[in-house]
């Protein structure tokens, strides 16, 4: 079959790599793709981002399956448009995508269906938000309601910092509209965990857990990033944590999806906080996380196309996902200066023997040469029977990839 994959990040390169492993896939068009998908087996980049144009492309090229990588087209209704055109598209409808598209919507959904989450308030007026902050305990979490490219969450340690954040979001409008409504949320202390899952709206199958490392420097210091590396499975996700997660978060989420009437055949990512009082849901994403995807798909032994088709056909209850019995460590190599200002355009060299263990993100193929084009340039993934073995492999791989200004954490 011919597949259309929408997106341009490291997540999409990993998805393309995994889809290409399926014997049932002959060709993958990646829109718009990146330097990694430009050289991946069975892949061809197509420079289209407009949803209506993608529908036309899928129809004209006899695309049998479209897989949507990022959240933005999902919230804009790409699945609805493909479905209306009689095309199969993997991802929730625009109503279901609001679980990620609006922080206020998702928190209200959690509250309505009894999903365990932090206490919160939602505000559209700056003065009301500041009034609420007068009586909060600190630290406190402030979230822009809309999509802000993973940067719309601030943990304010003091009231002064919280007030400044409200000014930045609501008055300075640093997220161009996404912060005009804010969610102010109690701070939960504990260990974060990421659990990707697949659902057909009736059955939900959790994938292997991950532990993301958000901050730029070793020891979780410095500003937040889109993610500097992932350990999978997450050693803090015990059997008890999974039981709590499935009983208090998964079951109630599925109930909500059904009662709200979402057409949700896609991925749900659960951002969890494991605390002394139990496991809480921080946020939903309605697509695969980046860089979690690179680790999870490296460990997945099942055919991803089979899983996607089972979800689209409402047959997930018949499916068992098979996993490699071991661990994966994904180390992100970033441009010097990220997440602040950084230079682009440097040549990337990758040892030919490790091509299957490198997923490109902020990279483009220019006249046959891979060059840096973003902050998070690529991921290397080490796999092993133990976390230690996987970690040793990953850090060996970092030495086999080079570009000027290469920076990575050494404690993933």
Quick check: 150 pLDDT over 90?
no
pLDDT surpassing 80 at residue 149: no
For 327-407, CATH gives 3.90.600.10
pLDDT one-digit tens code per residue, 165-213: 999 999 999 898 888 899 999 999 999 999 999 999 999 999 999 999 9
**DSSP states along 13-73:** HHHHHHHHT-TT--EEEEEE--HHHHHSTTEEE-----HHHHHHHHHHTT--EEEE-SHHH
pLDDT at 35 over 80: yes
Is a pLDDT exceeding 90 seen at residue 151? no
Structurally, at CATH architecture level, domain 2-93 sits in 3-Layer(aba) Sandwich (3.40)
* pLDDT at residue 245 is higher than 90: yes
State the chain's mean pLDDT as an integer. 96
pLDDT in tens, 124-134: 999 999 999 99
- pLDDT > 90: what percent of the chain? 95
* Sequence spans of domains, the chain: 2-93, 119-186, 190-318, 327-407
Could you tell me the pLDDT band of residue 313, with boundaries at 50, 70 and 90? very high
Architecture of the domain defined by 190-318: 2-Layer Sandwich (3.30)
Q: Which CATH superfamily is domain 119-186 in?
A: ATP-grasp fold, A domain (3.30.1490.20)
Q: List the one residue out of 320, 324, 79 whose CA is nearest residue 206.
A: 320
Bridge partners of 280, per DSSP, are 273
Please indicate whether the domains covering 190-318 and 327-407 agree at the CATH topology level: no
| pLDDT at 297 (0 to 100) | 98
**pTM score, two decimals?**
0.95
Structure tokens at 142: 């402030």
* 387-404 confidence digits (pLDDT tens): 999 999 999 999 999 999
Whether 356 contacts 381, CB under 8 Å: no
Q: How confident is the model at residue 148 (pLDDT cuts 50, 70, 90)?
A: confident
Band (pLDDT 50/70/90 cuts) for residue 147 is confident
């Amino acid at each position: 079959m011919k597949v259309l994959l929408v997106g341009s990040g490291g997540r999409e390169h990993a998805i393309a790599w995994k889809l290409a492993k399926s014997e049932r896939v002959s060709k993958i068009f990646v829109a718009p793709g990146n330097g990694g998908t430009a050289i991946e087996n069975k892949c061809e980049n197509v420079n289209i981002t407009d949803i209506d144009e993608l529908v036309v492309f899928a129809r004209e090229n006899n695309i049998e399956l479209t897989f949507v990588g990022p959240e933005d087209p999902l919230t804009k209704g790409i699945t609805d448009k493909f479905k209306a055109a009689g095309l199969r598209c993997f991802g929730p409808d625009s109503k279901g995508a609001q679980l990620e598209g609006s922080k206020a919507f998702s928190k209200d959904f959690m509250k309505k269906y009894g999903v365990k989450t932090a206490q919160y308030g939602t505000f559209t007026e700056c003065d009301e938000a500041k009034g609420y902050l007068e009586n909060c305990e600190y630290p406190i979490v402030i979230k822009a309601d809309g999509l802000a490219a993973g940067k719309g969450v601030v943990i304010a340690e003091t009231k002064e910092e919280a007030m400044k954040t409200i000014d930045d979001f609501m008055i300075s409008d640093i997220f161009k509209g996404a912060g005009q409504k804010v969610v102010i949320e109690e701070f939960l202390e504990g260990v974060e965990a990421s659990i990707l899952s697949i659902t057909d709206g009736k059955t939900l199958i959790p994938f292997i857990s991950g532990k993301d490392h958000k901050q730029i420097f070793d020891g979780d210091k410095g500003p937040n990033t889109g993610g500097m590396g992932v350990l999978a499975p997450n050693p803090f996700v015990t059997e008890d944590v999974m039981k709590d997660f499935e009983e208090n978060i998964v079951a109630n989420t599925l109930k909500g999806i059904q009662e709200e009437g979402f057409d949700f055949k896609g991925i749900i990512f659960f951002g969890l906080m494991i605390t002394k009082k139990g496991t809480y849901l921080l946020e939903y994403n309605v697509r695969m996380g980046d860089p979690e995807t690179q680790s999870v798909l490296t460990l997945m032994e099942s055919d991803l196309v089979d899983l996607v088709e089972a979800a689209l056909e409402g047959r997930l209850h018949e499916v068992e996902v098979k996993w490699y019995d071991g661990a994966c460590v994904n180390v992100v190599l970033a441009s010097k200066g990220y997440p602040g200002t950084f230079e682009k355009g440097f040549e990337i060299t990758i040892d030919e023997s490790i091509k299957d263990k490198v997923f490109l993100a902020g990279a483009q193929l220019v006249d046959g040469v891979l060059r840096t084009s973003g902050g998070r340039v690529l991921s290397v993934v080490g796999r092993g029977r133990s976390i230690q073995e996987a970690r040793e492999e990953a850090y060996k791989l970092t030495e086999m990839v080079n570009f000027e200004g290469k920076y990575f954490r050494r404690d993933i």
